[in-house]
Amino acid sequence: MSGFKRVEPIRIPVPQLNQHHRHVLIRKLDRLIPLAEIDASALANLSVGMRQVGPRTDLLHEGDTPDEVILMLDGFAARCKFQPTGKRQILAHLLPGDLCEPDAGYLSRLDFSVCTLSACMVAFISRRALASTLERYPATAHALRLVKLQEEAISREWLVNVGCRSALERMAHLLCELLVRLQAVGFATRDGYGLPITQQDLGDTLGLSNVHVNRTLKVMRDQNLVEWRGRQLKILDLSRLQVIAAFKLGYLHSTAGHDILAQ
């Protein structure tokens, strides 16, 4: 069990995504494959219910059979696994523009939980309505398939992170990845981005203790690589950060980041 609050969404029904939220979703997909206006409009016109959710809240719990797809509009969430002791492993970060478990309908129940790491704005989309849209717009379905393949590639890279890289390399790689993913949807610049999570969240992502995370961040500050104050990460030396991480853009299969990172 996560020990987090369980959200019972009191949704604000809206006929369709507003321009800002439409931009987040479509821009993410456009970075993977250009969408024609008809396909972009089909997604933007989906009827959704929106909800502001606080941090440390379960959006989906292990064992659920969700009948809706969650679209991240703002904030950080995560796919998680919890041990009986309460220990947590973060399996994936869910960022603005990410669709949360669009394929979960094929499962009898979820084998993981989804929880917010920060305050989040999320949209709830009917799984049936989304399936109907994808059936009528094959290019949109293709784009979402590419999203799934990107997520699988990220999972493989995270496995390498915890299995092969030092603490400094792990942290540098994650910070580079978040930069590219957030830049893709307009939430980051070359100089940094909002990072509204805790050192515990970083540790549960990277397989490091709180003490090890703190030491690693201190090394990065001392080497003038990054500065993390409050909820903002300032990148001081992106080129060196990329070298330390041995970070390569290819696994993200996106056009994002090519203007700020070496390939």
User: For residue 105, what is the DSSP state?
Assistant: G
- The answer to whether residues 27 and 92 belong to one domain is yes
Integer Cα distance of 172 and 233 in angstroms: 12
- The answer to whether residues 115 and 23 belong to one domain is yes
Q: Residue 5: its pLDDT value, please?
A: 56
Q: Which residues of the chain have pLDDT under 70?
A: 1-22, 47, 104-105, 107, 262-263
- The answer to whether residues 133 and 197 belong to one domain is no
Domain boundary among 144, 178, 213: 144
| 152 occurs within a structural domain | no
User: For residue 35, what is the DSSP state?
Assistant: P
Q: What is the CA radius of gyration of the chain?
A: 18
| 65 occurs within a structural domain | yes
| 159 occurs within a structural domain | no
Nearest to 45 by CA among 78, 66, 14: 14
| 103 occurs within a structural domain | yes
The whole domain housing 178 covers 165-252
Q: Which amino acid is at 198?
A: T
- The answer to whether residues 134 and 174 belong to one domain is no
Q: Residue 229: its pLDDT value, please?
A: 93
Q: Residue 46: its pLDDT value, please?
A: 82
Q: How many domains does the chain have?
A: 2
| 154 occurs within a structural domain | no
pTM: 0.91
| 259 occurs within a structural domain | no
Q: Residue 19: its pLDDT value, please?
A: 60
- The answer to whether residues 139 and 30 belong to one domain is yes
Question: What CATH number is attached to the domain comprising 72?
Answer: 2.60.120.10
